Amino acid sequence: MTQRLEPNQIRIVPLGGLGEIGMNCFALEQEGGIVVVDCGAAFADDDVGIDVWHPDFSWLLAQRERVLGIFLTHGHEDHVGALPYMLSELDVPVWGPPHALGIAKKRLLEHRFGPGELDLREAHAGREYEVGPFTVEPVRVAHSIVEASALHVRTAAGSILHTGDFNFDPDPPDGEPTDEARLSALGDQGISLLLSDSTNIDVPVRQGSERDVGRALEELVAAAPARVVIAMFASNVQRLILLGAIAQRTQRKLCLFGRSLETQCAVAREIGRLSWPSDLLVSSEQAASVPRERLLVLAGGTQAERNSALKRLSLGQHPRLVLGEEDTVIFSSRIIPGNDRPVFVMMNDLLRQGVVLKTRFSDPSVHTSGHAGRSEQGRMIQLCRPNCFLPVHGTLHHLLRHEELARELGVPETAVVENGTPIVCDGRKLWKNSPVRHGRVAIAVGGEELSSGTHQRRVELGRMGIAFVSLALGRDDRLAAPPAVRTRGVPLVDNDDVALRAVAKEIARALETFRGGRGLALVEYVRRAARRKLEDLSGTRPIVEVETIALN
């Protein structure tokens, strides 16, 4: 149980995103209740059939009657992707920019929420929203998505400012730069606590703006002799705005490959953020019939996700389009750490299709990050001039480096915590409470939760393979027939009759000398005998499942 709060104190309880990249979610608590800020998911980086991870909400659910609502900063998956899982347990309103709500709504409807069950409330920059004892004002910040906002919250411990994800691009394609005047005015009024995005603390200065990326892409598209495929993060609406204009200026038809891109474009068009003429887009079915030099394809799958449009194009297995000589593929993206291998495999496959490949390595200007570099993070701290500083949105390394920066810039009180460690603020000081329950929950492809036990078994299956042993036992547990053995994923044994018979023989021999009892003891004895023999044969120690059938 967490400690009681005094009337002048607030508590931040990070449930995701601190100590990791992804899954951003924290609770902001004071005497009168709790507001949740963001509710993000993280994509799976292993290969055991996990679709997404979401934060463990147990702590929040244990005090569900105090939760007043959820406030979203912007529509990226790592900020809205876990909403379906939280809202299935918690019936509370969700505030957010129209774009984020549009994305959230699509997700929720996919998860079979009825439209009538959703309480989604638009929150616009520059206006104030009362959520129980909190007053929340979104402040516009520039980011790789539209309508990103920082949140200024009046609380019992004074004002706090949570930056959300931001940068200081002075001229973003949507025409809405970070509202520095407002941040500075709020800084003048006094900010008790600043929580700021740490992602790019290792980048001294962010390289290039979105418009620079647009210029680089336009040059490449204009010079390309045949089809151009631009691989991009679907949620980068700023870049979508530019690419629509580039398609028009280079007299190409625009074609979207990938469900996320379709969703993102549909939402952005609904809220008036993409004003594309109706004849600009062609459907993917029509793509192959557009003259090659007149087609610009936008494709998802920059991280080589299985079944993504780009992955299928790389293998020549896309049902709508096969790329070939003179076609160009541009990776307007970066490789997320950990994905290097699959992405390079995909690049190789694309090259084998004969395409011309352009990436950040050959053309550094084809991508820029949406997150503030160190110099912009410093600028944020200087605009806000907070009493206390808590770095968010990053691994422990990022958080510690960002804390260092805040100290260098003279912030008197700073702290670093990871998920699950609550931090209390009285406007001047920060201190930690003992950790609360936290963690991450795996959602399998198919939508159901994977318990940690099931997840562990999937990992073990992948690592070791499995053997099945069936024993038909007659009177006195004597074998009525030779043991039946099958394996899956065991080298030198799978489908090898000689090896399988050798394992069966070894089990039979072991049973002849077994005097240890019946039931479980016998099963365990057989399991060990089988495992020993399998290890001899294959060098691996597979999982062994033993089944007995009593014949008498």
Residue ranges binding Zn ion (CB under 5 A): 76, 78, 165
Is residue 32 a contact partner of residue 136, using CB atoms and an 8 Å limit? no
DSSP state of 493: T
> If you write DSSP's letter for every residue of 417-460 in order, what string do you get?
--TT--EEE-SS-EEEPPP-S--EEEEETTSPEEPHHHHHHHHH
In the complex, the smallest distance separating the C-beta of residue 78 from Zn ion, rounded to whole angstroms, is 4
Nearer to Zn ion, 38 or 413 (CB): 38
In the complex, the smallest distance separating the C-beta of residue 354 from Zn ion, rounded to whole angstroms, is 36
Nearer to Zn ion, 199 or 414 (CB): 199
In the complex, the smallest distance separating the C-beta of residue 24 from Zn ion, rounded to whole angstroms, is 6
Q: Is 33 left (phi over 0), alpha (psi -120 to 50) or beta?
A: left
In the complex, the smallest distance separating the C-beta of residue 284 from Zn ion, rounded to whole angstroms, is 27
In the complex, the smallest distance separating the C-beta of residue 90 from Zn ion, rounded to whole angstroms, is 22
Q: C-alpha dihedral over 317, 323, 328, 331, to 10 degrees?
A: -10
In the complex, the smallest distance separating the C-beta of residue 203 from Zn ion, rounded to whole angstroms, is 15
Nearer to Zn ion, 25 or 546 (CB): 25
Nearer to Zn ion, 103 or 423 (CB): 103
Nearer to Zn ion, 5 or 41 (CB): 41
In the complex, the smallest distance separating the C-beta of residue 25 from Zn ion, rounded to whole angstroms, is 11
In the complex, the smallest distance separating the C-beta of residue 454 from Zn ion, rounded to whole angstroms, is 29
Nearer to Zn ion, 165 or 305 (CB): 165
In whole angstroms, what separates CA 86 from the centre of its chain?
A: 16
Nearer to Zn ion, 20 or 165 (CB): 165
Q: Where are the beta strands (DSSP E) in 315-359?
A: 328-331, 356-358
Nearer to Zn ion, 24 or 155 (CB): 24
In the complex, the smallest distance separating the C-beta of residue 3 from Zn ion, rounded to whole angstroms, is 30
Continuous segment of H or E residues that includes residue 378? helix 374-384
Query: Hey, is 144 helix, strand or coil?
Result: coil
Where helices occur in 202-333 by DSSP H, the ranges are 210-223, 237-249, 259-270, 309-314
Cα gap 159→181, rounded to integer Å? 17
Task: From 55, 68, 52, 61, select the one nearest 24 (Cα to Cα).
Answer: 55
CA angle 95, 259, 114 (to 5 degrees): 45
Nearer to Zn ion, 23 or 411 (CB): 23
In the complex, the smallest distance separating the C-beta of residue 362 from Zn ion, rounded to whole angstroms, is 27
Query: Hey, is 194 helix, strand or coil?
Result: strand
Is residue 104 a contact partner of residue 83, using CB atoms and an 8 Å limit? yes
Nearer to Zn ion, 76 or 438 (CB): 76
Is residue 450 a contact partner of residue 458, using CB atoms and an 8 Å limit? yes
In the complex, the smallest distance separating the C-beta of residue 165 from Zn ion, rounded to whole angstroms, is 3
Start-to-end C-alpha separation, the chain: 56
In the complex, the smallest distance separating the C-beta of residue 79 from Zn ion, rounded to whole angstroms, is 6
Nearer to Zn ion, 54 or 76 (CB): 76
State whether the Cα torsion 11-14-19-25 is positive or negative.
Answer: negative
Query: What angle separates helix 374-384 from helix 396-408, to the nearest 10 degrees?
Result: 50
Phi then psi dihedrals of residue 196, to 5 deg:
-135, 145
Nearer to Zn ion, 78 or 147 (CB): 78
Residues 6 or more apart whose CB falls under 8 angstroms from that of 99 comprise 74, 75, 145, 146, 147, 237, 267, 268, 271, 273
State whether the Cα torsion 316-259-74-242 is positive or negative.
Answer: positive
Integer CA distances (angstroms), 525 to 468, 479, 508, 513, in order: 14, 14, 11, 11
